[in-house]
A and B are shown apart, each in its own frame.
Chain A
């Protein structure tokens, strides 16, 4: 049973370009979470999605960031017109169907975005 997969593992973009980060949850998991880890900081929640639904995006920056989890395929975190401050490690986690908030989140290896 493969774990949470993220690609690419490393991504380099120039300012103004778009970054697309992909996350495939564990088999059987229908919930996906995105977190961002800025240099020397802890992980911060960004968005929580189920298939075809954004459940909670209260941690997402208001502009340039969007996320989706289509019926088929991986979850995508999209950053438009990247700036240097977007350089960070972006982690995806997945969990099975919620049961009173007790489920464990399983994390992927992360995508390290570097904006030049």
Chain B
């Protein structure tokens, strides 16, 4: 069964700290992995997309890594700010998706709070 798991479910850090969010997936045969941000009552904003052939992607203070063989990805946020407070979702497109390869499998997210 293909699953995506995110740990921790919630995280609180003081402003300025660097932090790491974790995502694990059960099948290493993937097309890509995507990190999203979801603000309360809002839609999803795509942060980073890592193709299966890539090891990492960077955008500003964000860096996402991918280790397909171990089924893991991390999202690193440097110098966290109160505006980073949101839920971060990891989503995987599996090659042999149970519901086809057309859709994303989402984790349940990590709710991040950055304390000023």
Contact = CB atoms under 8 A, between A and B. Distances in A.
Given A56-B99, A101-B93, A102-B31, A44 B46 contact: no
B66 interface: no
Given A102-B31, A104-B34, A42 B99 contact: no
A56 B89 contact: no
Query: B interface, by DSSP: helix, strand, loop or mixed?
Result: strand
Contacts of A1: none
B43 A33 contact: no
A5 to B, nearest CB: 10
A25 interface: no
B32 A43 contact: no
A73 interface: no
A35 B105 CA distance: 10
A59 B103 contact: yes
Contacts, number: 70
Interface residues of B, number: 29
B77 to A, nearest CB: 20
A112 B41 contact: yes
A41 B31 CA distance: 24
Given A101-B31, A102-B51, A42 B43 contact: no
B104 A42 contact: no
B42 interface: yes
A58 B106 contact: no
A44 B104 CA distance: 8
A107 B32 contact: no
Contact of B99 (A43, A45, A101): A45
Contact of B89 (A43, A58, A59): A43
Nearest to B31: A101
